[in-house]
Amino acid sequence: MNAVVVPPGWDGGPGWLVLPSPEGAATAVELVERALDEASLLADAPLPMGLGLAAAGWQLGVTQLRAVTERLAQSGVTLVALCSDDPRSRVAAAAIGLQTSPPLPQRPAGAQPPGPAGGPGLALQRGTLRSGDHLEVEGSVLVLGDVNPGACVRAGGHVLVWGRLRGIAHAGCQGDTEARIVALQLRPLQLRIADAVARGPEDSPPAGMAEQASLVEGEIRLDPAQPCWPLAARA
Amino acid sequence: MTAQSSRFILICSGKGGVGKTTLTANLGIALARQGARTAVLDADFGLRNLDLLLGLENRIVYTAQEVLADSCRLEQALVKHKQQPNLALLPAGNPRMLEWLKPEDMRKIAAMVGEHFDYVLIDAPAGIEGGFRNAMAAAQEAIVVTTPEVSAVRDADRVIGLLNSEGVKPIQLVLNRVRPKMMASQEMLAVDDVTDILALPLLGLVLEDEQVIVSTNRGEPLTLGEAGSPAARAYLNVARRLLGEDVPLIDPSQERRGLRARIGRLMQTKIF
């Protein structure tokens, strides 16, 4: 199967190059190259806002993304965005300056945003998120590592950090007011749950106690974390 | 010595003015004094000044630019240090070179230099844009320099993220311009605060030292002379740790007691 080009819509966004799901031996760069060889695909579509890469099912590292960017640049096309369901690929894309987004939700318009238990599952981020990193997932996210100052995690569901949370965390970013932020050490610059925003506490944290932030009557409150896994609790 | 066994070390920080070039110059001299054949490569093409710090500005005839363009041999461009023949500098080219230099060019240059030296130190420019990415392309490992300031630590953290995503490792940390008095009175970030955030092994702690400014202006790195000043000792220790020696880190809280205590400790070690 070959890659498909979706020209930019009337809203003036980027055009999209949609990769088929990874099957067989072809790498992402080879698929992009094949699409470029079918010159008519890209030549016919004017791309004033650049091109986005939709790569569902792919796990792309910085090296591969940079190779794709360079290959496209040779043909005069600027890669501006990556749409992927793999959080690690999105972190890599953000690191080389691409805009990132999770795949477009394929639910009927007007439907309720899915709750963390019913919706997409748990994304796992291994390793510390450093300053400038930006992680966004549709469901809940578990970070194994710290979230350093200057980094940002956004999740449709819960944000769980097995480490120190010192950056910015946004749980329930699609409006889920039940979402929680839990961390072994909760000292963020800023906390957001759904539409509420709070600054992090400034005093030093109690030693050895996990904390959680939840929305109580429209305000974000910090408590000792409940001794149960939030995903399981709602299942 | 072949390219496989030489070490390509990037010295970077993100933020400017924290002491990358000073560390490169002093570490280069210190390694050379320990007998390692060392090359320092100025990758800061826009604002080159590694040659100034080493006092080699007036000896530069050819630069990396001419080597890449094949208009001279590598040996002609390498400038040997006056007092330390084990150390050579490959000067950066014209500032305009930035526009056409590519990561591949940097890799090519580094590989050429690596054939003749045990250690290749690459002095990265500040920032995280093209110049830094070029410098990073040639490196296998990295030393991140930072000062105990929030902004420097934040920038270092960003740089470490980029190094991680490029697979550069190991990454080690040098904490520069430490003021023990300010640390003790909690006006400055403590060593633990910095290592907590950056989560890197500490390769060295360099105390704030006025002699650094004097030596920079003279073009004679501190490590050239006898290790009298605190910064010179710190740089020499960093070099010894790089060479695999186990040298204990200084404790800033012990360093702040002033000259008298230091003399006292010296005497103690001599007596017992």
Which residue among B154, B155, B162 places its CB closest to the CB of A95?
Answer: B162
Give the pair of three-digit tokens for residue A163: 């480490």
- To the nearest whole percent, how much of chain B has pLDDT over 70? 90
B157 and A166: CB-CB below 8 Å?
A: no
Q: Report the pLDDT value the prediction gives residue B259, as an integer from 0 to 100.
A: 60
- Domains defined for chain A, CATH in brackets: 4-101 (3.30.70), 122-224 (2.160.20.70)
- Nearest to residue A31, comparing CAs of A5, A63, A49? A5
Which residue among B165, B196, B197 places its CB closest to the CB of A95?
Answer: B165
Backbone angles phi, psi at B180, to 5 degrees: -55, -40
* Chain B residue whose CA is closest to A165: B197
Instruction: Judge contact between B225 and B55, C-beta under 8 A.
Output: no
Which residue among B157, B164, B165 places its CB closest to the CB of A131?
Answer: B157
Region class of B62: left (phi > 0), else alpha (psi between -120 and 50), else beta = beta
- Can you say how many angstroms the Cα of residue A188 is from the centroid of all Cα atoms in its chain? 19
The pLDDT tens digits for B116-133 are 999 999 999 999 988 899
ipTM of the complex: 0.72
Residues belonging to chain A with any Cβ–Cβ distance to chain B shorter than 8 Å: 61-63, 92, 95, 127-128, 130-133, 146, 148-150, 164, 166
Contacts of A148 in chain B (CB under 8 A): 157, 197
Contacts of A130 in chain B (CB under 8 A): 157-158, 160-161, 164
The series of mean pLDDT values per 10 residues for chain A, 235 residues long, is: 66 72 78 73 64 84 86 83 83 82 50 43 90 91 94 94 94 93 92 92 77 92 82 51
User: CA B171, CA B162: separation in Å to the nearest integer?
Assistant: 11
Relative to beta strand A140-144, strand A159-165 is: parallel
Which residue among A62, A128, A146 places its CB closest to the CB of B165?
Answer: A62
Contacts of B158 in chain A (CB under 8 A): 130-132, 150
Q: How many helices (H) and strands (E) does chain B have?
A: 13, 8
CATH architecture for the domain at B3-267: 3-Layer(aba) Sandwich (3.40)
